[in-house]
Chain A
Amino acid sequence: MAEPAVAVMAHHEEEDHGHHGPGGWLKYLWSTDHKVIAMQYMFTGMFMALIGGFMAYVFRMQLAFPGINVPGFGMVSPGEYNALVTNHGTLMIFWVAMPVLLAAFGNYLIPLMVGADDMVFPKINRLSFQIFFLSTIVILASLVVEGGGFAGAWTAYPPLSANETYNLTPLGSTLWVVGVGLEFVAFLLGGINFITTLMNSRAPGMRAFDVPIVVWMIVVASILFMLSVGPLLAGAIMLIFDQTLGTGFFDPATGGDPILWQHLFWFFGHPEVYVVLLPAIGVVAEIITTFARKKLFGYRIVIFTIVATGVLSFFVWAHHQFIAGIDPRMANIFTITTLLISVPIAEMCFVYIATLYGGSIRLTTPMLWALAFIAEFLIGGVTGIFLGAAGADIYFHDTYFVLAHFHYTFFPIAIIGTFAAFTYWFPKMFGKMMDERLGKWHFWLTIIPFNFIFIPLFVLGMGGQHRRIYNYAHFPELAIPWFQNMRIVATVSLLVMLAAQLIFFYNCYKSWRRGRKAPMNPWKANSLEWTTQSPPPHGNWRPDELPVVYRGPYEYSVPDRDDDYWPQNEPDSRGSR
């Protein structure tokens, strides 16, 4: 108990000193409050999602109606098309999924859910966002410099990415690498905080297995990120040297090896999938237990499976490179590890489905999103098996089948997972209840078009349609009318889905301005963030009211109790622990 109290005092002193000078928005800008930083990450991420979504709109219009003058953009040249798909991928993964799921919700939830007044290192947290913000400016600048944005795919394979005579975007490609590198630094700093805060600042009484799953997930994700990002950062610096100083790390003409980059990239890139997946899975665990009024089925199974997934994720990277020119015998090993990873992930899905068994399910908007995550992610999971089997990957590699597969994983993660978390914690974050009717309209108008975008793309991939082609007219086998009709279906569905997001923004605005005031614990949930007011004050709880924990976070519907929930901080009658 002593330690948090000291931390709070130190914190308040610092506040007093810091606030002599600038007030107003500068106070907001330099705030070290984890909740403020979380909001900054979230709104930056959502802004970037709008840009990434706009890019998708432009290139999908070009694919459905080749040569069209896209409203709001104009004609799409082949170079622009490549830049659009490249930066759509880059932004959606590094500037949307990462900041929103990992950084925003990690920042917001970890201190509140472990019962701490703030992160362990609030100033590092502030620095983390500032570097992230800088990286955002760099990546946005890379889109508008002379020569245009980087156009060598988000995987940035050299020699194309390393040499301006090949990629024709001298400034864009260098700024792209610098932006991505800065972004990694920002998340490393954030990750330090997540890990140390969980280790050191848990409320008295909170043991390792009393920590909510989402916190575990975010912390494991941060550890995976820290362990995997080093090789890629090194690779990024080598790539910058290749681009600007004329070194030849990745250029065979000067003795380098382009495959080296692929190894460095995917050694990071595959764990990265789990870095963004785990927070989403954690969010879903919180929501389905709350709205099924059920204890999580096999809490420890989930913890062990995420650790197993995390370890395995370091041994699967070359499944992205089966036909890239690696020794073909290596493919055998990576086929085995890749299919093995299906076991813990399948187990995780089973656990969530089993959690619903015997529940008392309330289909609120956040619950709909959480259930949709499971239903849709299953499609993404099972289609991965096709690609993990090296023999089938010969055909599927770099086709729309791959594209549809990873959109069925990343969309549930980054979009469905975010909406689930956002609608679930909205009352806590903004102190207002969201409009359920609008929320459900938004849900259905997002989920249904989403499937109509990507199921046709699976079929096109099966038909041999390869990726990153601005116009299929040059390929007679792919230019047939019913393929083109499928492209149009996908594009029209995308337009519907994008339009449906207006409902979301309107709902946010309306609920924030005129919504019903949120009570402390609107969902009757157990974890600690619901034991403080909505929204929580600076320091989260009054210093003398910091919570003490008596049990795990999923004690719903415990027999012989009047309430069907049992907050973590409520002493039981016998006062044990």
Chain B
Amino acid sequence: MERVGHFFDDIGLIRIGSSYAADIDFLIILVLVVVGVWFLAAEFVFMYFIVKFREKPGRRADYIDGTNKRHKRWITYPHLAVLVFDVLIVVVSFKVWHKIKIDLPENPDAVIRVIGQQWAWTFQHPGADAELDTPDDIFTIDELHVENGKLYHFKLEALDVLHSFSVPVWRIKQDAIPGRSITGWFQPTMIGEFDVQCTEICGFGHGVMAGKVMVEDPATHSAWIEANTPALLAE
């Protein structure tokens, strides 16, 4: 069961890089199986009818108007079944949605700020004291540094137009709105360098609004913090 959520990772389509990525993938697989079966069944019956009921000399079409109960149940039963499957999908979708977007895990290891503007991402890291908005904060452009396995909250803001913060391997996506600060969370589980996208069209340079996130092991991350702490404070 556990592996199901890793299907897209296993086939090399998109890697799993956060604690909730497999939950989203599991939901996608569930929908894929449910609607896939329906889809194949419907297309099969459809194609079968087209072949089977081709015009033949001497044969006349049946006169069926669909008001007869015996005929109508061929519509009513499948349609009730669709409803049942809808409920199943809704339930799993709710679970995933609540986990990612509604239930904010408490006591994060760090809080970062992500600011979108035309056409770059600014990342505000809390620095050595793990507190945001203190003098040792580290600001970077288009390059987010996080430590593998740690729980992060992010505060997402925008300066001019709408942007959308997306890291595909984390399955994270959230629009940034000027004038608001939107809180969310993530917990990286894979070390490496990954794409950060802006997924909301934001003008001329939307296509080059590319950042990257560096997920580092604890030693590398501390070294990075040390090396980048504003010089004035380091003394």
Q: A422 — which chain B residues lie within 8 A by C-beta?
A: none
**Interface set, chain B 104-152, CB cutoff 8 A to A:** 118
Query: How far does the alpha carbon of A390 sit from the alpha carbon of B93 in the complex, in Å?
Result: 6
Closest to A78 in B: B207
Contact A325 B61, beta carbon cutoff 8 Å = no
B199 partner, pick from A392, A398, A462, beta carbons under 8 A: A398
Closest to A252 in B: B179
Contact A295 B63, beta carbon cutoff 8 Å = yes
B178 partner, pick from A253, A300, A358, beta carbons under 8 A: A253
Contact A466 B46, beta carbon cutoff 8 Å = no
**Interface set, chain A 356-387, CB cutoff 8 A to B:** 356-363, 371, 374-375, 378-379, 382-383, 385-386
B225 within 8 A of A: no
Q: A296 — which chain B residues lie within 8 A by C-beta?
A: 65-66
A159 partner, pick from B60, B67, B90, B160, beta carbons under 8 A: B160
Query: How far does the alpha carbon of A478 sit from the alpha carbon of B38 in the complex, in Å?
Result: 31
Which of A151, A158, A258 gathers most chain B CB within 10 Å? A258
A395 within 8 A of B: yes
Q: B78 — which chain A residues lie within 8 A by C-beta?
A: 346, 350
Also in contact, A371 and B94, with CB within 8 A (given A298-B75, A477-B168)? no
Contact A294 B66, beta carbon cutoff 8 Å = no
Contact code string B58-78 (vs A, CB < 8 Å = 1, else 0) = 011111111100011011001
**Which of A4-12, A35-43, A44-52, A335-343 binds B?**
A335-343
Also in contact, A557 and B62, with CB within 8 A (given A298-B67, A466-B166)? yes
Q: What class of interface size applies to chain A in its complex with B?
A: 35 or more
A323 within 8 A of B: yes
A556 within 8 A of B: yes
Contact B90 A339, beta carbon cutoff 8 Å = yes
A299 within 8 A of B: yes
Q: B59 — which chain A residues lie within 8 A by C-beta?
A: 360
A181 within 8 A of B: no
Contact A342 B86, beta carbon cutoff 8 Å = yes
Query: How far does the alpha carbon of A357 sit from the alpha carbon of B54 in the complex, in Å?
Result: 10
Contact code string A378-413 (vs B, CB < 8 Å = 1, else 0) = 110011011001111011111100000000000000
Q: B174 — which chain A residues lie within 8 A by C-beta?
A: 323, 325
Query: How far does the alpha carbon of A292 sit from the alpha carbon of B89 in the complex, in Å?
Result: 36
Also in contact, A390 and B97, with CB within 8 A (given A360-B61, A362-B55, A395-B173)? yes
**Which of B24-32, B215-223, B226-234 binds A?**
B24-32
Contact A79 B42, beta carbon cutoff 8 Å = no
Contact B207 A474, beta carbon cutoff 8 Å = yes
Closest to A257 in B: B179
Contact B94 A477, beta carbon cutoff 8 Å = no
A24 within 8 A of B: no
19 contacts between A and B (CB under 8 A): A82-B204, A160-B162, A160-B201, A166-B118, A297-B71, A339-B90, A343-B79, A353-B49, A359-B49, A360-B59, A360-B61, A385-B35, A386-B28, A389-B93, A391-B92, A391-B93, A391-B94, A466-B197, A477-B195
Please report A residues at the B interface, Cβ cutoff 8 Å: 78-79, 81-82, 151-153, 157-160, 163, 166-168, 252-253, 258-259, 292-301, 323-325, 328-329, 331-332, 335-336, 339-340, 342-343, 346-347, 349-351, 353-354, 356-363, 371, 374-375, 378-379, 382-383, 385-386, 389-392, 394-399, 459, 462-464, 466-471, 474-478, 556-559, 564
Given contacts A152-B203, A295-B66, 12 further A-B contacts (CB under 8 A): A157-B200, A159-B178, A252-B179, A294-B62, A324-B177, A331-B101, A332-B94, A359-B61, A361-B49, A392-B24, A392-B31, A564-B61
